[in-house]
């Protein structure tokens, strides 16, 4: 994840022995993608929306954040932007209501419980409360709106990525690019790892075009997370693509 996405959380990770490295201007590649609509899922306080607005000044941005305090900061940070709208909901595989674990840092809060390892690395994840949050599916939400293509979909949902994908497969087929936080080690209980997310994205017509950001366990050198860039694969390249090729 880039500094723009999770500055507060990554400062906390540095204090407990994780080394964070980032590429300069990580979103610059979006300037040539023709993106007209951005779906910012797991918006936190609006860090990604602010960063993407700099490179996509005319795109429509829709941000989703279920927690009260971050949502207020998200909404206030983008007040006056006529092409921005915030939704006070989580995104998952089924619409309704769900328990959400709130940590000492909202940036690591999740639908899922942290593993013992993650709680050792980031002690604030051990102190948590649970709140009820409303949940929508991406497909259900998108069916009620006009979303000019091509789309950019960003997912930063702390281990809940597979749920977002399963509830948003039709919407994702309209995306040119998907940026998703992915894990290489289990930090949340039951979370999918990178290869699991790749297996879900390939049938939707995407290949992994690279990674940006990331953080490592400084004591072992192991990479724990990064932001994967999924790019729509051209027809006829051998990728599984049952939809959107005509």
Q: What is the pLDDT of residue 37?
A: 98
Q: Any idea where the domains of the chain sit in the sequence?
A: 3-232
pLDDT of residue 27: 92
Q: What is the pTM of this model?
A: 0.85
Under 8 Å between Cβ of 135 and 94:
yes
**What is the pLDDT at residue 1?**
47
Distance CA 13, CA 15 (A): 5
- For 36, the token pair is 């007209």
The DSSP-derived string for 173-225 is TTEEEEEEEEESS--BTT---HHHHHHHHGGGTEEEEEEEEEEEETTTTEEEE
Backbone angles phi, psi at 219, to 5 degrees: -75, -25
pLDDT value, residue 128: 77
End-to-end CA distance of the chain: 34
**Sheet containing strand 129-137, strands side by side:** 90-92, 129-137, 96-102
The reported pLDDT for the residue numbered 122 is: 81
According to the model, what pLDDT value does residue 235 have? 59
Using DSSP, state whether 49 is helix, strand or coil: helix
d(CA 25, CA 21): 13
- Which residues, listed in sequence order, are joined to residue 212 by a DSSP beta bridge? 227
Could you say which DSSP state residue 71 is in? H
CATH code for residues 3-232:
3.40.50.150
Query: Tens-of-pLDDT digits for all 246 residues of the chain?
Result: 444 444 444 444 344 444 444 445 789 899 999 999 999 999 999 999 999 999 999 999 999 999 999 999 999 999 999 999 999 999 999 999 999 999 888 888 999 999 888 888 888 887 678 999 999 999 999 999 999 999 999 999 999 999 999 999 999 999 999 999 999 998 999 999 999 999 999 999 999 999 998 878 777 889 999 999 999 987 544 444 444 333
> Any residues with CB less than 8 A from the CB of 228 and at least 6 apart, and which?
179, 180, 181, 182, 194, 197, 198, 208, 210, 211
Phi, psi values for residue 132, rounded to 5°: -90, 135
């Amino acid at each position: 994840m880039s500094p723009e996405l999770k500055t507060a959380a990554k400062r906390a990770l540095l204090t407990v022995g994780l080394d964070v490295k980032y590429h300069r201007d990580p979103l610059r590649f979006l300037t040539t993608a023709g993106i007209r609509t951005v779906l910012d899922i797991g918006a936190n306080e609006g860090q990604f929306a602010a960063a993407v607005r700099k490179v996509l000044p005319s795109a429509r941005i829709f941000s989703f954040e279920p927690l009260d305090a971050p949502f207020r900061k998200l909404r206030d940070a983008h007040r006056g932007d006529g092409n921005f709208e915030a939704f006070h909901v989580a995104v998952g595989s089924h619409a309704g209501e769900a328990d959400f674990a709130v940590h000492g840092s909202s940036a690591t809060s999740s639908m899922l419980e942290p593993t013992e390892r993650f709680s050792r690395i980031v002690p604030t994840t051990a102190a948590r409360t649970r709140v009820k949050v409303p949940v929508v599916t991406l497909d259900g939400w998108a069916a009620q709106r006009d979303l000019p293509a091509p789309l950019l979909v960003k997912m930063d949902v702390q281990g809940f990525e597979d749920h977002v994908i399963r509830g948003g497969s039709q919407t994702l087929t309209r995306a040119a690019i998907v940026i998703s936080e992915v894990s290489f080690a289990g930090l949340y209980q039951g979370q999918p790892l990178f290869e699991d997310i790749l297996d879900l994205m390939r049938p939707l017509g995407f290949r992994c075009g690279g990674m940006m950001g990331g953080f490592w366990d400084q004591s072992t050198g192991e990479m724990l997370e990064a932001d994967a860039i999924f790019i729509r694969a051209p027809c006829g390249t051998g990728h599984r693509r049952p939809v959107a090729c005509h």
